Amino acid sequence: MTHAFHPTSLREYDIRGIIGETLGEQDAYAIGRGFGTLIGRAGGRKVAVGYDGRVSSPILEAALVSGLNDSGIHAVRIGEGPTPMLYYAEAVLDVDGGIEITGSHNPANYNGFKMVFQGRPFFGADIQTLGTMAAQGDWDDGTAGSESVDIMDQYVARLVEGFDGAAYRIGWDAGNGVAGPIVEKLIKLIPGEHHTLFTDVDGNFPNHHPDPTEEKNLADLKALVAEKKLDFGVAFDGDGDRIGAIDGEGRVIWGDQLLAIYAEPVLKELPGATIIADVKASQALYDRVAELGGVPLMWKTGHSLIKSKMKETGSPLAGEMSGHVFFKHEYYGFDDALYAAVRLIRAATALGKSVTQLRGEMPAMVNTPEMRFQVDESRKFAVIDEVLARLKAAGATVNDTDGARVNTPDGWWLLRASNTQDVLVARAEAKDEAGLARLMDQIDSQLAESGLARGPQAAH
């Protein structure tokens, strides 16, 4: 028996597609067969399986478990819950891997799979291997069963282990994603006054799209914080691995700004530690980490890539602009937005300042949102290579960790190829609007030299 995946579904960090078009039950079964075969060949016997609140998730879960079983792998089914709950199960249960069925922050008609293999992220070439194995029918045969394990209360208890935070007045927006039930349990265990929005799981996302990194999706949370005069608010994406936050004045605290807050208490305890952020993060963050006595490390965008780099460097803390935050300090090193929310309370308490004050003390930078523009898949990486070659020939100060990040006296600009879509991503940051305009001119001229234009679709 063989299987062919839709060519767009096997991505760099996970597997994702549109239900009934590019992803379905047969794909889920084939993923179970392939992943199960690899686990078995590595000496493993059991895999934890969880799923998010999408309408299609239970169907895919059943097919995935069937595929694992037919490869001789026992499934430990933890049921509906956020991706970090699956990561937690993989870390603490007697299993050899884990799979979460989730469409993350994609629209309601999408779904997908995030995987952990014997404690490490399963991505890139690993995912392509599943495609090759399916095409060749290179699957081991076996029989195995499954069991259901309710780990939710244990997971919630772990989130508040060692909690030393003060009582704040907080707004929580789960966006009808799968973090909702966890939020409802969590707020009973921490002091303060808590107001929640959209904690019922609804895979149709009737209130707003569950992506807290887009400011328009924070409108309800801003209204709640303003109306109740709360100290701050937090929001979660569809599967609970990315956090968004606003202060008491309704100002967004972006991913790199959150990291600057988290870094301070961590570096007090672990002086000289390496703190990792992705290439989209503000120069202000890297400067702040250095100022606090840490070693700032700029790395490639992508949760799997960041996790791998953390293991390599022994970093206690990392984060991305997209709201993935990774605490190895007092935790497991995976991205968990619910834990990040708890750590925000603890950080503000430890630093003796309100979240609003912490946000207000940050240097004012003028920057663009993440700008995206379509480019043919075959040209995507080639354009970046051309830009790098021209910049280096011109003697520019350029970091090529992930695309081209160029420092100038005005600030910096970034152009990189997305690993998950046929787009180029640009961002720029300066000290004032005039400087930002000069940086944008540099991006435009580089694109023009490679035959591309930054059109209206660049708007965030």
HEC states along 92-119?
Answer: HCCCCEEEEECCCCCCCCEEEEEEEECC
Q: Give me the helices (H) in 302-376, please.
A: 303-313, 337-351, 355-360
Last-in-domain residue among 104, 133, 150: 150
Structural domain including 410 reads: 366-458
Domain match, 295 and 397 both = no
- CA–CA distance, 237 with 87 (Å, rounded to integer): 16
Q: How many domains does the chain have?
A: 3
Does any domain span residue 8? no
Domain match, 434 and 341 both = no
Domain match, 336 and 388 both = no
**Residue 206 belongs to a domain with what CATH number?**
3.40.120.10
Measured torsion, CA atoms of residues 439, 276, 92, 164, in degrees rounded to the nearest 10: -100
**Residue 406 belongs to a domain with what CATH number?**
3.30.310.50
Domain match, 124 and 221 both = no
Give residue 13's pLDDT: 82
* Separation of first and last alpha carbons in the chain: 44
Last-in-domain residue among 132, 150, 168: 150
Does any domain span residue 5? no
Annotation says 56 is catalytic: no
Task: Give, for all 460 residues of the chain, the pLDDT tens digit.
Answer: 999 999 889 988 889 999 999 999 999 999 999 999 999 999 999 999 999 999 999 999 999 999 999 999 999 999 999 999 999 999 999 999 999 999 988 889 999 999 999 999 999 999 999 999 999 999 999 999 999 999 999 999 999 999 999 999 999 999 999 999 999 999 999 999 999 999 999 999 999 999 998 999 999 999 999 999 999 999 999 999 999 999 999 999 999 999 999 999 999 999 999 999 999 999 999 999 999 999 999 999 988 899 999 999 999 999 999 999 999 999 999 999 999 999 999 999 999 999 999 999 999 899 998 898 889 888 999 999 999 999 999 999 999 999 999 999 999 999 999 887 789 999 999 999 999 999 999 999 999 999 987 654 443 3
Domain match, 181 and 274 both = yes
Last-in-domain residue among 129, 150, 171: 150
Q: Is the dihedral of CA 294, 296, 302, 306 positive or negative?
A: negative
Does any domain span residue 10? no
CB atoms closer than 10 angstroms to residue 409: 9
**Phi/psi of residue 430, nearest 5 degrees:** -140, 175
Domain match, 190 and 291 both = yes
pTM: 0.95
Q: Give me the helices (H) in 353-432, please.
A: 355-360, 377-393
Domain match, 401 and 319 both = no
Domain match, 120 and 191 both = no
Does any domain span residue 2? no
Residues 277, 319: contact at Cβ < 8 Å?
yes
Residues 364, 433: contact at Cβ < 8 Å?
no
The catalytic position among 57, 104, 282, 322 is 104
Domain match, 47 and 174 both = no
CB atoms closer than 10 angstroms to residue 3: 20
- CA–CA distance, 49 with 83 (Å, rounded to integer): 10
